[in-house]
Amino acid sequence: MAERGRVVVIGSINMDVVVTVPRMPLPGETLAGGSVHQVPGGKGANQAVAARRLGVPTVLVGAVGADGFGTVLAGFLGAERIDISPVRTEHGPTGTALITVADGGENTVIVVAGANGSVGPNRVAEAALRSGDVVLLQDEIPAETNEAAAAAARAAGATTILNLAPFRPPSRRLLDAVDVLIVNETEFAELVGASGAGADGIAELLRSGDALTAPDGGPLGDVVVTLGVDGALARIGGELLTVPGRRMPVVDTTGAGDCFCGTFGASLAVGLEPASALARANTAAGLAVGRFGAGPSMPTADEVAAVGPA
């Protein structure tokens, strides 16, 4: 898809306020938590860290607030050697995610956009997109910004990957400009109206090709569906690709999807074929869930290589 190039992430930067609990509370129930942590996160930032730790030059376009969280996040991302020159400091709060993590790794996430809402279409030019870049987008910034970024990437000859999370129905303009959609099983069901399809049903839908449609009834292009411990399924270039699942220790699943997306994008940027990029992304996500937190849990290239594909 792309020649060797950079990963350019246009997306969110959050501080994750994480509370550990023995189990998820019932509605109206009060539980005693185990601990509270402040951990760098945000889908855009997480994907940028995942890509950069694999050794790929990475640029992040985003915003933080003029507060303590913003200062900490800028320091963390700079220490990761990500190009954060396009990250602006805006008046008001930094984006914040309130996360509950239960024993066994299950989590819930509530996101407050904060400064991420200021990442408008006018910011896309700051990425200086060029041929060979892989552009990563998610749904924690305004929809019109994703549309502008995908259009600019198409014009520049870059490859665009859109992670439809948190899910919102994509516009036809966006779908027509994106090269690869990445969704989890729940997001896939919302995208195509196939609730409860399961892995076999998803595989059959992907295999059906042109019969797979978006919410507007129009066609979908290349799609990757992540299935957690069951691996991933994809339709890329008209070919059904299967990534086998793997069982790895689970501490915290927060950020696993971001790790998958960042690794997949970075792998395309250095010239890997989609099948190999998917397998590598699945391995990296498996390593990430064995660690606490989102941004800091992303593995390095050496760690991913040591495990190898399933």
Q: What CA–CA distance (Å, rounded) separates 198 from 216?
A: 23
Cis bond before residue 142 (omega within 30° of 0): no
Query: Any binding-site annotation on 231?
Result: yes
Annotated ligand binding at 148? The verdict is no
Give CA–CA dist 201/296, Å, rounded.
35
Name the token pair of 219.
Answer: 């066609």
* 163 among annotated binding-site residues: no
> Helix (H, G, I), strand (E, B), or coil: what is residue 177?
helix
Does 46 belong to an annotated binding site?
yes
Distance CA 89, CA 97 (A): 18
Give the total residue count for the chain. 310
Phi-psi region of 238 (alpha: psi -120 to 50; beta: other; left: phi over 0): left
Q: Does 254 show up as a binding residue in the annotation?
A: yes
Options 200, 210, 258, 302, the catalytic residue: 258
Helix, strand or coil for residue 171? coil
44 is in an annotated binding site: yes
**83 known member of a binding site:** no
Tokens linked to 17: 């306020």
> For residues 213 and 246, is the Cβ–Cβ distance under 8 A?
no
Residue 302 annotated among the catalytic residues of the structure: no
Please tell me whether 5 is known to bind a ligand: no
**Is 122 labelled a binding residue?**
no
Does the annotation list 252 as a binding residue? yes
Q: Taking the alpha carbons of 259, 115, 117, 123 in that order, is the dihedral positive or negative?
A: negative
11 labelled binding-site residue: no
Residues placed in the known binding site for substrate: 14-16, 42-46, 140, 258
Residues placed in the known binding site: 14-16, 42-46, 140, 184, 226-231, 252, 254, 257-258, 282, 288, 291, 293, 297
Residues placed in the known binding site for ATP: 184, 226-231, 257-258, 282
Catalytic residues: 258
Residues placed in the known binding site for K(+): 252, 254, 288, 291, 293, 297
